[in-house]
Structure 1
Amino acid sequence: MATTDITEADFEKTLTDHEIVLVDFWADWCGPCKRFAPVYEEVSGRHEDVVFAKVDTEAERGLAAAANITSIPTLMAFRDKVLVYAQPGAVNATQLEELVTAVKGLDMDDVREQVAKARNEG
């Protein structure tokens, strides 16, 4: 599956309609973002079951602010609408493949339990 651009208007629907969504927050002026883009595109082609979304932080300032993006590129991974990974900085193809594999392998019952526990403690 190729990468897809998403906006604030369709962000929630994208998360709701798909089990696994990776989101690359980027900007056109960002050198590391431009170097990461072909890696993101390449890996997306190997995972038809995962949405590889891109958010242009310049065009989608509200969404970037809501996601607390302070550095780009930032990569986020959602599974069943739960944020399971968020990290600034570009990764290489091997690291991105490992991330996708890790997200696919998550025990979501355990993740939801951990999220609930963290909320109760916070």
Structure 2
Amino acid sequence: MATVELTKENFQAEVAGSDIAVLDFWAPWCGPCKMFGPVFEAISENHPDLLFGKVNTQEQQELGAHFNIRSIPTLMVIRENVMLYSESGALSKKDLEALIGQIRAIDMKEVHARVANQQAAGA
């Protein structure tokens, strides 16, 4: 699956409709973003079951602000509507593949239980 351009109009539907969403926050003027783009696209071809979404922070400033994006490129991974990873900087193909493997291996029942406990403690 090729990457999907995410906007404020389609973001919620696309991410909520995917078990795992790998997101690239970028801008056209960003040199490191231009270098990371082909890596992101190539890895997306290896994982057709995942959503690989690109958010142009120049055009989608509301999404950038919502996720507190301060540096680009920023890579974010959301699984079952829980953000599991968010870091700025470009990754190599090898590192991005390793990250996806780690995300797939996470026991989400445990994560959801932890989130529920945190929400209950904060209520």
* Match of residue 93 from structure 1: 93
Q: Secondary structure at the match of 2:115?
A: helix
| Alpha-carbon offset, residue 105 of structure 1 | 1.2
CA distance in 1, matches of 2:68, 2:98: 24
> TM-score w.r.t. structure 1 length?
0.95
* Match of residue 60 from structure 2: 60
Number of matched residues? 122
CA distance in 2, matches of 1:88, 1:16: 23
CA distance in 2, matches of 1:43, 1:81: 21
Gaps of 5+ in 1: none
1:20-74 superposed Cα distances (whole Å, 9 cap, x missing partner):
1011000001000000000000100000111100000000000100011000000
CA distance in 1, matches of 2:16, 2:8: 14
* Match of residue 48 from structure 1: 48
> TM-score w.r.t. structure 2 length?
0.94
| Alpha-carbon offset, residue 121 of structure 1 | 5.8
Aligned alpha-carbon RMSD (Å): 1.3
